[in-house]
Amino acid sequence: MKTILITGASSGFGLETARHFLAKGWTVVATMRRPDAEVLPRSGNLRIIPLDVTSTDSIAAAVAAAGPIDLLVNNAGVGTVGAFEATPMDHVRKLFDTNTFGVMAMCQAVIPQMRERGSGVIVNVTSTVTLADMPLTAAYTASKQAITGFTGAIAHELATFNIRVKLVEPGYSPTTRFTQNAGLPVADLIPPAYADFAGPIFKAFASPALTTRETDVAEAVWHAAHDLSERLHFPAGADAVALYHTRATKS
């Protein structure tokens, strides 16, 4: 039976991915900053363990507790929306600590065991902000773009050891806690000078033509994990797929 370790599994994409792989018969190690045994169905194939991807000690303890990992899904992330001018640099560093350095640290912690076994898959969850320039997401985009480049590079390195590395790129999902874990209210990041610019953007967010469901991401992770080709990008959600194909057509 294969084992998947998912970061940020307490809600949203990570939680749904844990449900999906449990239903498929995998052993699931669902990691959370604040473990909650009530969010997932009880199962002998499920372990819920604490993990803070910004802490070296926490990562080491979680990986040791998990044992052999066949699939690592780096899903934990911090979202933010606002004008870059108004975004404190402390907050920018918080974004990178989780979205960028946390992903890199998790990869570095798990790669050795995969390399020694000669098998394994790493799936890094980013965002469609990496597929198109989107306003009011500058710092968040930068943190995710870094992982896009990082993932493409290590995919080449790790292929030598039969380790596959993939990107799952979700679109806009209004049912997740995208900005709730940011610690800064969106209103605080929209100064009066930006109000006229931001107004139409937030109006569009309120009634999007296409969106991404949590199940879309879980299914994309499943497909990415089982893909044996050299394909790197897996858009997740109707809006993400449309954007991905638009970009491919333009290029």
Helix axes 103-117, 56-66, angle to 10 degrees: 30
Q: Is 120 helix (H, G, I), strand (E, B) or coil?
A: strand
Q: 55, exposed or middle or buried, with CB in 10 Å at 0-12, 13-18, 19+? A: middle
140, 172, 194, 244: the active-site residue: 140
- Whole-angstrom Cα distance, residue 223 to residue 221? 5
Which residue from 6, 96, 87 is spatially nearest to 49, judged by alpha carbons?
Answer: 6
- Whole-angstrom Cα distance, residue 235 to residue 172? 11
140 is catalytic: yes
- Whole-angstrom Cα distance, residue 176 to residue 245? 24
Catalytic residue positions? 140
